[in-house]
Structure 1
């Protein structure tokens, strides 16, 4: 479980790290004052979620994910589709908070899907923090349980166990998950996620002298090597993207690391040599930034073309709202247009026809349109 960084071949890593940093920073600077920034960010959430499922061997159709997110499913959602929607929600949540939220106590608790003890491994409570509130009185004369004290007691136990594990001591396995009601038939009860999470977090702090992008690549490699969580391997990509945002490399967006990894052969990402894997992660970051730049320029051109069609329209026209909706979603359906713009079905079809959107599904029913 331990991840040893050791001596890094900087002469091999510094070149890919600089190229990845340059690409990510260029994309971030392009987005600062971009008129399509908000739409671009929303679209990338969907693309990264689909790529995350593809990497673990699951196929999720982009249009199904968009409809699931809008609660307009065409069919019963599959397990893979539900997980992809979870990726979208967690990316939105991480981007909506402060830069240092995701790797803090509350952020890690929420993003990793763990109980209250998970994030506490990374950020122990400070002295005097969270003092129990004064007793408000119990009408039945029975004292209320001090839940805060119990939580801090469990945090202390986890920290103690993690310290002993990292020190190399023999620690007996747990017989039941702590702070967690998950079924033992689905989860290995001996899999100490708290200790693994503590070890992974130390990888980020162990080499603070390295460039942020190189530290992010090491964190990605450590996440897969340590196998932090039994379920949700994609969470590591979201956390590392949040780390890049925290360090200011991608201050105005959340990097689509899964989109970049999708363009790197699996043989490189899962190579037997650590240096080869880290270089592959750095190249994936560069590919993610390059794909983001292409998508941004494509959206910018599409926005200019669509706005040309708005000239001379009445001030009460709903076409500007439809343009905003199309730019923020990979695909739109008539039901989505009806719901967002408050028009009839025929009105939605007329608006879509006015903008000349491309039909993407090729089906007679449940059609969807988008920008090509």
Structure 2
């Protein structure tokens, strides 16, 4: 007597397999694996101890009475009061407070990056960090007086302004350089890599033939040909490990 067929059972052999799905069966397998790897790296970075423990610091290099945690908490508390101020003024105060409080003994440059990050967080810049340090180098240091807090704030305001002006000039130069090379893109085949190479040269401060080959998935020789066709300027003055720039 034949066994009656259960309508709840799936049709076909191997409809339910005990073996796990392979990466080929799961289209999101590589993406999930990359996400897991990124989360693992983040966890390791957050749990990472300082490069040199406080007990192992050499008194010749470090001030052992320097409480970085307390100074950093003091700086954060002071920065919280700038939340209601305009972004540029808040960034200037952030940099000035970092110079005054000095939360980290060997990282005086970090305050400029944090000021730039504050400008982006407040929406003053969107896709980049302002080069506040470049603006600070362009402003005369005579305006910075240690005993005058107002002069310090004015100095960093001038640094932000100088950085913005320099960035605008660089942006105009890049657009002019692109316009000067736009004629080389005319009449190209649809599968030409020259437009992509030009965009890559504008997006990076320097490019190499190997970088173009990797990003555009062409040979190293093809990368060198693209550099020659674009007329990029060689920046290293060397025969090996050469690099080029758009300006």
**Fold match, TM over 0.5?**
yes
* Cα deviation digits, residues 179-211 of structure 1 (max 9, x gap): x73631254343211111111112223355543
Aligned pair 1:254/2:129, yes or no? yes
Please provide the CA RMSD for this pair: 2.8
In structure 2, stretches of 5+ residues that fail to align are: 1-41
Q: Which residue of 2 is the match for residue 235 of structure 1? A: 110
Q: Which residue of 1 aligns with 2:245?
A: 370
Secondary structure of the corresponding residue to residue 194 of structure 1:
helix
- The alignment partner of 1:253 has SS state of coil
Q: Does 1:181 align with 2:56?
A: no
Is residue 266 from structure 1 mapped to residue 141 from structure 2 by the alignment? yes
Aligned length: 201
Q: 2:94·2:114 contact (CA, 8 Å) conserved in 1?
A: no
Partner of 2:11: none
CA contact (8 A) 1:193 1:228 kept: yes
| 8 A contact 1:241–1:254 mirrored in 2 | yes
Pairing partner for 2:163 from 268, 271, 288: 288
Report what 2:65 is aligned to: 190
Superposed, 1:23-62 pairs within 5 Å as: none
Name the structure 1 match of 2:17. none
SS for the counterpart of 1:236 is helix
Query: Residue 95 of structure 2 aligns with which residue?
Result: 220
Q: Secondary structure at the match of 1:198?
A: helix
What TM-score do the two structures reach when normalised by structure 2?
0.71
Alpha-carbon distance in structure 2 between the residues aligned to 1:339 and 1:212: 39
**Could you tell me which of 178, 201, 219 is aligned with 1:326?**
201
1:124-171 Cα offsets, whole Å, 9 max, x none, are: xxxxxxxxxxxxxxxxxxxxxxxxxxxxxxxxxxxxxxxxxxxxxxxx
* Structure 1 residue 294 displacement after superposition: 0.8
- 2:234 equivalent to 1:359: yes
Q: Secondary structure at the match of 1:317?
A: coil
What's the TM-score, normalizing by structure 1? Answer: 0.49
Q: Residues 337 and 209 from structure 1, CA distance in 2 versus in 1: closer, same or farther, beyond 3 angstroms?
A: closer
Give the corresponding residue for 2:15: none
Q: CA deviation at 1:301?
A: 2.0
Partners of 1:289 and 1:274 in 2: how far apart? 23
Gaps of 5+ in 1: 1-109, 117-176
Q: Deviations over 1:335-367 (max 9, x none)?
A: 222332333333222211111112222233332
Specify which of 339, 342, 353 is matched with residue 214 of structure 2.
339
Provide closer, same or farther for how the CA distance between residues 323 and 195 of structure 1 changes in structure 2, counting only shifts above 3 A.
same
CA offsets, 1:235-288, max 9 Å, x none?
Answer: 211211121222222244322111111111233345442221211110000001
Q: Partners in 2 of 1:254 and 1:266 — Cα distance?
A: 23
CA contact (8 A) 1:269 1:281 kept: no
